[in-house]
């Protein structure tokens, strides 16, 4: 993968702080990276700040939280100073996000088709019939064999895997340049996970999007992405090409790799992570 001249997304010293009764909690503490048209994985355990990083880029941080950064730019456009209106135009059109569980992130009282059409009509001047045709084509692109039927179904009427495909369709229908996928397959069955990842992989490659893949599953991320960022306690502890995962230096990354039970390895007891306080400094 060649490094593009101008990165798609630049993040420098991103901080997300939540004020609480007992003082400020820093969920993200100085995260910096640049993303080209590549697949970047962000890995960490719960509370490591990986999701808040994705949400800050998307502009979905809760209102009471404070965001600060030296630079947070999408192409040339500064996301920090951008008015909310422009940010809304960007969101869904240029930057899109796939969430973990289709059960909770699709609108339960709107058919899948209408939700996709709504996305299109928000961002483009398009007739209803043209929007419907685009939505159907998109449902077909995520390998839904009977798009007409799924178009008129409500989210509760489809399986998890089908719901996640519908969400991918909804997010990609406007042709975003950057896609943030926050645990896109964690709520799915293992056998369905691979199908959904396969669809996502092909679409990202065909459309030349930048992808940020957020997950707690280090192995999955490394098999899917070009580059992996490992986060711990709100900071990046290690960044490495996915292919060189075995050469990870940081004890946290190595510990994460090590503590997974695998078929054929007979390790009793499993090695556990010995958390050092200096990792969180």
Residues in touch with other proteins (CB under 8 A) = 45-46, 160, 189-194, 197-198, 201, 216-220, 223-224, 255-256, 259-264, 267-273
- Cβ of residue 102: shortest distance to other proteins, in angstroms? 13
- Cβ of residue 148: shortest distance to other proteins, in angstroms? 25
**Nearer to other proteins (CB atom), residue 100 or residue 115:** 100
- Cβ of residue 204: shortest distance to other proteins, in angstroms? 11
- Cβ of residue 219: shortest distance to other proteins, in angstroms? 5
For residues 84 and 248, give the distance between their C-alpha atoms in angstroms, rounded to a whole number.
40
For residues 138 and 176, give the distance between their C-alpha atoms in angstroms, rounded to a whole number.
13
**Region of residue 264 (phi > 0: left; psi between -120 and 50: alpha; otherwise: beta):** left
**Nearer to other proteins (CB atom), residue 10 or residue 185:** 185
- Cβ of residue 192: shortest distance to other proteins, in angstroms? 7
DSSP, collapsed to helix, strand or coil, labels residue 107 as coil
The count of C-alpha atoms lying within 13 angstroms of the C-alpha of 129, restricted to the half-sphere facing its C-beta, is 0
H-type helices in 91-184, by residue range?
A: 102-105, 112-123, 128-141, 147-151, 160-172
**Nearer to other proteins (CB atom), residue 84 or residue 272:** 272
**Nearer to other proteins (CB atom), residue 80 or residue 270:** 270
**Nearer to other proteins (CB atom), residue 119 or residue 222:** 222
**Nearer to other proteins (CB atom), residue 23 or residue 269:** 269
Q: Which secondary-structure segment (H or E) carries 29?
A: strand 23-35
Query: Taking the CB of residue 32, how many other CB atoms lie within 10 A of it?
Result: 15
**Nearer to other proteins (CB atom), residue 49 or residue 147:** 49
- Cβ of residue 100: shortest distance to other proteins, in angstroms? 13
DSSP, collapsed to helix, strand or coil, labels residue 245 as helix
- Cβ of residue 267: shortest distance to other proteins, in angstroms? 8
H-type helices in the chain, by residue range?
A: 50-58, 84-90, 102-105, 112-123, 128-141, 147-151, 160-172, 190-207, 218-224, 251-258
What the block records as the tokens of 43 is 């890995």
């Amino acid at each position: 993968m060649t490094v593009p001249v101008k990165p798609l997304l630049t993040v420098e010293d991103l901080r997300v702080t939540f004020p609480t009764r007992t003082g400020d909690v820093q969920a993200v503490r100085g995260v910096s990276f640049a993303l080209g048209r590549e697949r970047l994985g962000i890995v960490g355990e719960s509370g490591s700040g990986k999701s808040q990083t994705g949400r800050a880029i998307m502009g979905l941080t809760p209102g009471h939280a404070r965001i600060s950064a030296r630079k947070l730019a999408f192409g040339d456009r500064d996301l920090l100073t951008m008015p909310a209106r422009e940010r809304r135009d960007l969101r869904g059109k240029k930057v899109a996000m796939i969430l973990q569980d289709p059960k909770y992130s699709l609108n339960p009282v709107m058919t899948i088709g209408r939700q996709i059409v709504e996305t299109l009509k928000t961002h483009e001047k398009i007739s209803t019939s043209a929007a419907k045709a685009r939505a159907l084509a998109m449902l077909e692109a995520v390998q839904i064999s009977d798009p007409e039927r799924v178009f008129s179904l409500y989210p509760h009427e489809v399986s998890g895997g089908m719901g996640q495909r519908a969400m991918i369709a909804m997010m990609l229908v406007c042709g975003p340049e950057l896609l943030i996928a926050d645990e896109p397959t964690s709520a799915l069955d293992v056998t369905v996970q691979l199908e959904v990842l396969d669809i996502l992989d092909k679409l990202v490659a065909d459309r030349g999007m930048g992808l940020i893949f957020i997950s707690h599953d280090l192995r999955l991320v490394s098999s899917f992405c070009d580059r992996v960022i490992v986060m711990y306690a709100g900071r990046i502890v290690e960044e490495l090409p996915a292919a060189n995962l075995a050469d990870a230096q940081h004890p946290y990354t190595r510990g994460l790799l090590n503590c997974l039970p695998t078929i054929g390895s007979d390790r009793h007891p499993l090695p556990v992570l010995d958390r050092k306080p200096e990792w969180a400094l």
